[in-house]
Structures are given as C-alpha cells and as structure tokens.
Amino acid sequence: SKRTKGVTVVYPIVYGNVATLLPQKKVPDSDHTHKWTVSVRGINGSDISHFVKKVTFKLHETYSNPQRGTFVEQPPFEITETGWGEFELSIKLQFVEPGEKPVSLYHNLRLHPYEEDGSISTVNRNKPVQSFQYDELVFTDPSEALYQILTQH
C-alpha cells in the first residue's frame, strides 16, 4: 500500500539463545555436546507475527544443508538444534508487507558459561546458558498498512 512520509516507527525486539549440556551419548554417533534454541521475539516474549511473515536462521557451514538455512513462518520464531560449537548465525526477518526490506540480525551462539576473564566456568557447567540481546527495528516511511499494524499493538 501507499507509503507514509516522514514517519519512523521503532519496534523493540529481543533475540538470542538458550543452551543446555546434553546428557552424554544422547545423540548417538555424534560429537554433539549441547542442545540450543535460538529465537526472536518482542519484549517479554511477545508475539511479532502480526508484522513478521518469515524468519530465516542461517547456521554454520558445518551443519548439513537442510538444517543450515531453516525458515519459520509461524510463531514462535525459533529453532532448536544440537551441536558442539559456538558460531555466529544470522536471523533474517521478512515482513508481511512485501515492499518492506528484509532485516538481518546477527547473533553469537553461546553454549558455554563464561567467567569474567573469558575462561569457561566449570562450576556452572550444568546450568542452562542464556545469551539474549535487545535491539530495535526501525521502519522509515513504512507503508500505511504496516504503519497501522505496528502502531495498533
């Protein structure tokens, strides 16, 4: 639909991961040590599907092809995998208005409980690890339809 003029809408989001240590030998014939979930949400876990149509999670090249670029078209926008290492993944958001440019976010997947000096904590080894960041999506002159969607929630 028609674009607004001179309008900026800022929408707060939270994205990141939780990770837990797998019980040993949980994934047969693999060296996977952790189970993790990467997600993107609104503040306080709120749903963003009123304006987000599709989220594509792009994983490290050590993941096999079908898993490497996984897209999600329904909330919750998250994926759960197992693995052995940390890496930077991208999270691409596509919006319900096709004219609105996709936005890519980058997250460093975290599996290990780090101490302040950067070493891996052994005492906290069995506790779930969380790494989330707050960010803002900035829409400049969104379509009038998207403007309505973003501001009526």
Binding site for ligand SLL (CB under 6 A): 60, 62-63, 83-87
For ligand SLL, the closer CB: 4 or 17:
17
Provide the minimum distance between the beta carbon of 62 and ligand SLL in the complex, in angstroms, as a whole number: 4
Minimum separation from the CB atom of position 121 to ligand SLL (A): 18
Residue keyed to tokens 């069995």: 126
One-letter amino acid at 133 equals Q
Q: Please give the backbone phi and psi of residue 71, each rounded to the nearest 5 degrees, phi first.
A: -110, 150
- C-beta closer to ligand SLL: residue 85 or 128: 85
Shortest distance in whole angstroms from residue 84 CB to ligand SLL: 4
Of 29 and 136, which has the nearer Cβ to ligand SLL? 29
Classified as helix, coil or strand, 144 is helix
Q: Which is nearer to ligand SLL, 86 or 141 (CB)?
A: 86
Minimum CB distance to ligand SLL, residue 129 (Å): 15
Amino acid at 139: F
Q: How far apart are CA 143 and CA 96, in angstroms?
A: 11
Helix (H) or strand (E) segment spanning residue 133: strand 129-140
E strand or H helix that includes residue 146: helix 144-151
